[in-house]
Amino acid sequence: MAERQGAGDHIPDVAVRRLPVYLRVLEKLYREGTAIVSSAELSRLTGFSSEQIRKDLTYFGAFGTRGVGYSAVALISQIRRILGLDQSIRAAVFGAGNLGQALVRYHAGKPQDVPMVALFDRDPEKIGRDVHGLTIAAIDDLPEVLRRAPFQMAILTVPAEAAQEVAERVVAHGIRAILNFAPVTLRLPDTVFVRNVDLSLELQSLAYYVNRRPEDAP
């Protein structure tokens, strides 16, 4: 009689990825003094359909009031809870090159739920230098840094050749979520969740739409 214990129904990743968008919009509305928001207004501000927004939210519960809408504060804290942002989630950056350093600085300069708390590099020249308050550490110091400044997420900005090895090392230390900027397909146990962001790939696939008539848009 027992169904799959506590698992609930499978939630599509596309829905999970929309939650932070809702959160961003809700926080803006809230700062501007809005107390109640309808799915129709969220639709206008996010570009997603109102039924999609309602459906996404009901994957996790019933947060609105029929005939009225959603309380902005309440929905903000619900979404933060769903994503786990109510607990402390931290990230470390691997690779203190152009991109790694820029991401640290860029991210530090904005409101952030997931702070970057460590920055690693392999180059002995760079170790010990400061990037926006973070001291560059050697990747070999990973265990020690993890103890001093725990993090649950790795952001890879190392060169393509190094990415697989670095990924395996962070996974060996218990990291289960990776944001990979290196232009390689990582091969990792599927207990690890990987999201890829690849500038060249984005530009190449955008090229497809440059010479296309509007009707062919997806």
Partner DNA sequence: CCCTGTGAACTAATTCACAGCG
Partner DNA sequence: CGCTGTGAATTAGTTCACAGGG
The contact pattern for DNA, residues 28-47, with x = CB under 7 A and - = no contact, is ---------xxxx-------
Options 27, 73, 107, 122; binder of a second copy; rule CB under 8 A: 107
Q: Closer to a second copy by CB, 62 or 210: give it.
A: 210
- Residue where the block lists tokens 């790795």: 154
Nearest to 169 by CA among 124, 127, 128, 122: 122
Q: Closer to a second copy by CB, 39 or 101: give it.
A: 101
Nearest to 190 by CA among 200, 204, 176: 176
Can you tell me the distance from the alpha carbon of 143 to that of 8, in angstroms, rounded to the nearest whole number? 35
Position 177, amino acid: A
Can you tell me the distance from the alpha carbon of 123 to that of 97, in angstroms, rounded to the nearest whole number? 10
In whole angstroms, how far apart are CA 189 and each of 105, 169, 186, 194, 213?
31, 13, 10, 10, 41
139 binds, among DNA, a second copy, none (CB under 5 to 8 A by kind): none
Task: Determine if 150 is a binding residue for a second copy (CB under 8 A).
Answer: no
Options 38, 50, 52, 152; binder of a second copy; rule CB under 8 A: 152
User: Which among 19-27, 65-73, 117-125, 138-146 is the span making contact with a second copy, rule CB under 8 A?
Assistant: 19-27
Q: Closer to DNA by CB, 15 or 85: give it.
A: 15
The contact pattern for a second copy, residues 54-83, with x = CB under 8 A and - = no contact, is ----------------------------xx
- List the structure tokens of 64: 């609105």
Binding residues (CB under 7 A) for DNA: these are 10, 12-15, 37-40, 48-52, 54-55, 57-58, 62-70, 218
Query: Rule CB under 8 A: which residues touch a second copy?
Result: 7, 10-13, 16-17, 19-21, 23-25, 45-47, 82-85, 87, 89, 91, 97-99, 101-103, 105-107, 109-110, 112-114, 152-153, 155, 176-177, 179, 183, 185, 187, 190-191, 193, 195, 197, 199-212, 214-218
